[in-house]
Structure 1
Amino acid sequence: MKHSHHHHENDSSKNLKVAFFLNFSFTIIELIGGIYTNSVAIIADSLHDLGDTLSLGLSWFLEKYSSKDRSKKFSYGYKRFSLLSALINSAILIIGSIVILYKTIPRLLNPETSNYVGMLLLAVLGMIVNGVAVFKLKKGSSLNEKVVAWHLLEDLLGWIAIFIISIINQFIEIPILDPILAVIFAIVIFYNAIKNLKPIVAIFLQSTPLDVDVNELETKIKNIKTINSIHDMHLWTMDSENHILTIHVVLKGKITPTKVKSVKKQIRKVVYSMKIKHVTIEVEEKNEICEYNDC
C-alpha cells in the first residue's frame, strides 16, 4: 500500500515536470509569435501561459516537497504544500485574467490587422503542445494536478478558437475578432479560477471533505453495539485525499481493555471504508466528568 502511494506521488511529480517544460518552451515561441503576427489574443495568451509556466514550476517543486515524510515540526506531513501551490496557481489566473482585460479592451475600440497565416501556424502548434500536457495531467488525481490541468485545458480551448478565427480571416478579414477572443479568454479564465479556488479555501478552513457523508459516518459508528453515544467528532482533510478524524465515544457499561480494543477495531473498519486514512479515538465511560471544555 505504501509503495502504491509513493508511486502515485512520483507519477504526479513526473506529469507536472513534463507539463512545465512543454509550457516553458512554448511560451517563449508564443510571445515572439504574438509580437510578429500583431495578435493581441496570442500576446495575451502568452502572458497567461507565462503565469502557467511559473505555476507549473511551483507546482512541480511543491508536489515533490509534499511527498516528504512527516517531521516533528510538521506532524501531519507536508501534504498541504501541494494545496498551497494550487492556491497560488488560482490567484495567478485571477490576476492574469484582469491584466488581459485591461490590456485588451482598448483594442476593441481600435482593432488592428494581424498576420493570420502566422496565427494559424501558432494555433496548430499550441493545440499539439497543450493537448499533450492536458493528457498527461488529466490522468492525475491530486487537486494540484487538476487545477494545473484546468489551466492547460483553457489554453487548449483558446488555441482552438484562435485556429478558427485565423481561418475565418483568411477569407473575410474581421480584425475585431482577435480582441473579442482575448476578452472571452479572460472572462472564462476568471470564472474557472474562482470556481477552483472555492474548494481550496474550504480545505484551508478545515471544512469536512466533500467525498465523505458525515451523517452516514455518524450513523455507522453509532450502530456499533457497545457504543452508547459519540461527541466532539471532528473531520477534515489535508489535501482533498488524506482525511483525518478525531472522535470521542462513550461506551455502554464498564470499560475493559478487551472492550476498548474491540470498539476501536470496529470504528477503524468503518472509517477506513469511507476513505479516512487517519483516526484518533478517545474512549469514555457513561457519566464520565470532563475537566476541560470541548472534551
Structure 2
Amino acid sequence: MGHHHHHHDHTTGNIKTAFFLNFFFTIIELIGGILTNSMAIISDALHDLGDSLSLGLAWFLQNFSKKEKSKQFSFGYKRFSLLAALINSVVLIVGSIFILTEAVPRLLDPQEPHTLGMMGLAVLGILVNGAAVFKLRGGSSMNQKVITWHLLEDVLGWVAVLIVSIVMTFAELPILDPIASIFITLYILYNVILNLVKTMRLFLEAVPENINLDEIINTIQQLPDVKSTHHTHLWSLDGEHHAFSTHVVVPASSSKEAVCNIKEQVKQVIEDIHLDHITIEIEYEDEYCSMNEEKGG
C-alpha cells in the first residue's frame, strides 16, 4: 500500500505545482493584456483565472481524498477527487462557452492588437503551461486528466496566439485571432465533454472501462468446486481505485480448506485489477441467500 500512498502524494504535488504556475502566470497575463491592448489576451487571462480557481479546488479535494475512512465515509474520501473532476469539467465547459461568445462577434469586428507583445506573452504562455502539462502528463485519476485538459487548452491557445501574432506582423489579418480561438475552444470542449461523460459513469458506479465483468463472472463460475455466482459487482471509487464483491456458491460438503482455496482462486482471477476493496461471500448450495434473485450476475 506504500506504493499507492506515494502515487497519491505525487498526484497532489503535481496539481499543487500546476496551480502555482497557472496562478502566477494569470497575473502576468492580465498585466500583459492591458499593456498590449489585446482583448484576446485579457479574455484568456480571465479564463486562466477560472482555471486557477479550479486547480486550487482540485488540489484541495485531491489532498482531502487521501484522508482515512471514517464512520460517515466507510470507503474513505477517494470520491472527493472525482467531485473535483466533475466541478472542473463544468467550469471548463462554461469557460469555453464564454470564450466562444467573445470570439464569434470578433469575426465581424476584428481588432488589431500589439503583435510583438502578443508574441512575447505567447512564448511565455507556452513555456509555463507546457511545463504544467508535462508535470501532470500520464495521470490516471479523472481529476488529474481533467486538469491536464485545462492546461492543454491554454498551451494550444498560446500556440495559436503565437502563430497569429507572427502572421499579423507581416499581414493585416486580425480575423485570424478569433478563428483560431474558436477552433481550439471547440476541440477542447469536445474532449472535456468526453471526460465529463466518463466522470459521470464513475459517479453512477458503472463498471470501469476496459474491464469485462461478464468475462470475470464466467471465469469464476468455471473454477473447480464453484457451483454458481450471483450478486457480483465491480465499481470504481475515483477512476483509479476499484471495489469488487461477489457471492460464490460451493458444494454443501466443502471443507474449510476447500473454501479458502476457492477464495484464493477468485482473487487470482481479479488480481490484475487495482482493487482497494474485495468482498467474497461464500455460500453452501443448500444455504438460503436473500440476494440470489440476481443469480448468474
The TM-score normalised by the length of structure 2 is: 0.93
CA distances 1:178-209 after superposition (whole Å, capped 9, x unpaired) = 22222223322321211110110000000001
- How far off its partner does 1:259 sit? 2.3
Whole-angstrom distance in 1 between the partners of 2:94 and 2:283: 51
Classify 1:104/1:238 alpha carbon distance in 2 versus 1 (closer, same or farther; 3 Å): same
Whole-angstrom distance in 1 between the partners of 2:34 and 2:104: 18
Residue of structure 2 in register with 1:132 after alignment: 131
Residue of structure 2 in register with 1:84 after alignment: 83
Residue of structure 1 in register with 2:185 after alignment: 186
Whole-angstrom distance in 2 between the partners of 1:88 and 1:127: 25
Residue of structure 1 in register with 2:25 after alignment: 26
* Greater CA drift, 75-84 or 29-38: 29-38
- How far off its partner does 1:138 sit? 0.3
Residue of structure 2 in register with 1:115 after alignment: 114
- How far off its partner does 1:139 sit? 4.1
Residue of structure 1 in register with 2:7 after alignment: 8
Report the AA paired with residue 143 of structure 1.
M
Residue of structure 1 in register with 2:176 after alignment: 177
- How far off its partner does 1:126 sit? 0.3
Contact between 2:153 and 2:185, CA under 8 Å: does it hold in 1? no
* Greater CA drift, 275-284 or 87-96: 275-284
Structure 2's unaligned 5+ residue stretches are none
Residue of structure 1 in register with 2:270 after alignment: 271
Report the AA paired with residue 158 of structure 2.
W
Identity of aligned residues (%): 51
Contact between 2:156 and 2:184, CA under 8 Å: does it hold in 1? no
Contact between 2:25 and 2:125, CA under 8 Å: does it hold in 1? yes
- How far off its partner does 1:33 sit? 1.7
Whole-angstrom distance in 2 between the partners of 1:210 and 1:177: 40
Whole-angstrom distance in 1 between the partners of 2:262 and 2:143: 37
The TM-score normalised by the length of structure 1 is: 0.94
Contact between 1:229 and 1:250, CA under 8 Å: does it hold in 2? yes
Report the AA paired with residue 128 of structure 2.
V
Q: Look up the SS of the partner of 2:246 in the other structure.
A: strand
CA distances 1:77-110 after superposition (whole Å, capped 9, x unpaired) = 1111111101111000111111112222222211
Classify 1:259/1:139 alpha carbon distance in 2 versus 1 (closer, same or farther; 3 Å): same
Whole-angstrom distance in 1 between the partners of 2:51 and 2:221: 47
Q: Look up the SS of the partner of 1:272 in the other structure.
A: coil
CA distances 1:62-81 after superposition (whole Å, capped 9, x unpaired) = 11111111111110011111
Whole-angstrom distance in 1 between the partners of 2:203 and 2:22: 29
CA distances 1:149-175 after superposition (whole Å, capped 9, x unpaired) = 111112111111110110101110111
Q: Look up the SS of the partner of 1:273 in the other structure.
A: coil
Whole-angstrom distance in 2 between the partners of 1:292 and 1:196: 34
CA distances 1:254-278 after superposition (whole Å, capped 9, x unpaired) = 2432222221122122222333332
Whole-angstrom distance in 2 between the partners of 1:226 and 1:148: 48
Contact between 1:44 and 1:182, CA under 8 Å: does it hold in 2? no
CA distances 1:209-245 after superposition (whole Å, capped 9, x unpaired) = 1132213211221121010111111111101111111
Whole-angstrom distance in 1 between the partners of 2:145 and 2:64: 18
Residue of structure 1 in register with 2:73 after alignment: 74
Contact between 1:20 and 1:56, CA under 8 Å: does it hold in 2? yes
Classify 1:291/1:84 alpha carbon distance in 2 versus 1 (closer, same or farther; 3 Å): closer
Q: Look up the SS of the partner of 2:270 in the other structure.
A: helix
CA distances 1:108-142 after superposition (whole Å, capped 9, x unpaired) = 21111110011000001001101110110004332
Q: Look up the SS of the partner of 2:227 in the other structure.
A: strand
* Greater CA drift, 252-261 or 264-273: 252-261
- How far off its partner does 1:291 sit? 4.4
Whole-angstrom distance in 2 between the partners of 1:291 and 1:67: 35
Residue of structure 1 in register with 2:149 after alignment: 150
Residue of structure 2 in register with 1:164 after alignment: 163
- The count of residues paired between Structure 1 and Structure 2 equals 294
